[in-house]
Amino acid sequence: MTPARRATIEFLLDNLVWLMLIVVLIVFSLAVPRFFQFGIFANIVEQSTFVGVMAIGLAIVIISGNLDLSVESTAALSAMVTGLLFATQGIGLGLTLEPSWLMLPVSLLLAMIVGAIIGFINGFFVVRVGMAAFIVTLASFIWVRGLVVAVSGGRSAQSLAPSIRIIGTADILGIPLLAWISIGFFVLFSVLMAKTPFGRYVTLVGGNREATYRAGIDSDRILWASFIIAGLLAGVAGWLLAIRTSGATANLGAGMLFNAFAAVVIGGISLKGGIGKLPGVYAGVLLLYSIHTAINLMGLPAHYTQMILGGLVLAAVLLDTLKLRLRERLL
């Protein structure tokens, strides 16, 4: 086989999820009435924001060879902190800052700090103490959600200050600001993963931690940083979710973990670690929400979505295995 042809096949295999996304969009556009509209596409991108931002962090942790089940609860905690402090009704304390635009960065910063703290705790137990990431983050998934219920007393906060809400209502060039935010995050973190030593090390540590240690890379620091980034991004996702819903409820974000995981797996990230790229994850999220949207438009009951998504995850893993075999035969 010529190198050029092999390169083409490699490229196609690496970007299979984008191909799938395009095919699915074309099929839906032809088959589903009212699907082919600018508004629908903008809406898909906007809806993808919350799970998308969360999935970036999850993907980084998985590429580093670990697992983070706590991202959903972390997002809920950040959302609740945002709602509690800056919402005016329900349990909201209605905190105001002068000038009022200051509330936007301050609330974002708080949400990121809350998320980073949870990530730091996860990292401590996994990296320092040496516990299994599955158990540590499963525990966090439970206790952080418990904390959300505890601080809210099970009640909700509503009516976020308008100066924060602007993030959820503004648009640029007819595309919602939220959509731009998710695109921005994916571009930023894709560059981080593909072009910086940190991203390179995350992949290498996920592939062979012993080898990176021998090469003088501080693998503990890389793993710990991955957890902190995952927590931080979950915090941002929670903040965005609070803005979108203009407040927070105790069960906000329930079910996001599955969607984030599905997006990561569909996006070609291997749960074994060390394999996968972030742009693929974005395609995975978009694919997920294209399907959500199509099902909504067709007026099918919501439980069909779950069945289809479950099947999709299975198909994605199967595809991953097939890809591997195909590659072995080609090279």
Partner 1 sequence: MNEKPPLLKLEAIRKHFGAIEALKGIDMEINSGEVVALLGDNGAGKSTLVKIVSGDLRPTAGRIVMEGEEHDFASPAEAKAAGIETVYQDLSLCTNADVVANFFMGREITKRFLGIPILQEREMEAVVAQAMADAGTQIPSLRTNVEYLSGGQRQAIELNRFVHWGGKLVLLDEPFAALGVEQTRRGLETVRQVASRGIGVVVITHIMAQAFQVADRIIVIRHGVVAGNVRPEETTSDQVIDMITGGSLSGAGKGRG
Q: Which is nearer to partner 1, 3 or 39 (CB)?
A: 3
Q: Which is nearer to partner 1, 183 or 200 (CB)?
A: 200
- Sheet with strand 247-248: strands edge to edge: 87-90, 157-160, 247-248
The distance of closest approach from Cβ of residue 66 to partner 1 in the complex, given in angstroms and rounded to an integer, is 15
Q: Residue 154 and residue 239: Cα distance in Å, rounded?
A: 19
Select the residue interacting with partner 1 from 29, 208, 251, 305 (CB under 8 A). Answer: 208
CB atoms within 10 A of CB 293: 18
The distance of closest approach from Cβ of residue 127 to partner 1 in the complex, given in angstroms and rounded to an integer, is 15
Select the residue interacting with partner 1 from 218, 254, 255, 322 (CB under 8 A). Answer: 218
Q: Is 204 in the site for partner 1 (CB under 8 A)?
A: yes
Q: Is 323 in the site for partner 1 (CB under 8 A)?
A: no
The distance of closest approach from Cβ of residue 233 to partner 1 in the complex, given in angstroms and rounded to an integer, is 18
Q: Distance of CA 5 to CAs 10, 12, 288, 325, 331, Å?
A: 9, 11, 31, 18, 11
Q: Which listed range, 32-40, 50-58, 76-84, 194-202, lies at the site for partner 1 (CB under 8 A)?
A: 194-202
Q: Residue 189 and residue 109: Cα distance in Å, rounded?
A: 18
Q: Is 206 in the site for partner 1 (CB under 8 A)?
A: yes
Q: Is 213 in the site for partner 1 (CB under 8 A)?
A: yes
Select the residue interacting with partner 1 from 39, 153, 174, 216 (CB under 8 A). Answer: 216
The distance of closest approach from Cβ of residue 331 to partner 1 in the complex, given in angstroms and rounded to an integer, is 4
Select the residue interacting with partner 1 from 109, 214, 254, 315 (CB under 8 A). Answer: 214
Q: Is 212 in the site for partner 1 (CB under 8 A)?
A: yes
Q: Is 217 in the site for partner 1 (CB under 8 A)?
A: yes
Select the residue interacting with partner 1 from 105, 146, 154, 197 (CB under 8 A). Answer: 197
Q: Is 203 in the site for partner 1 (CB under 8 A)?
A: yes
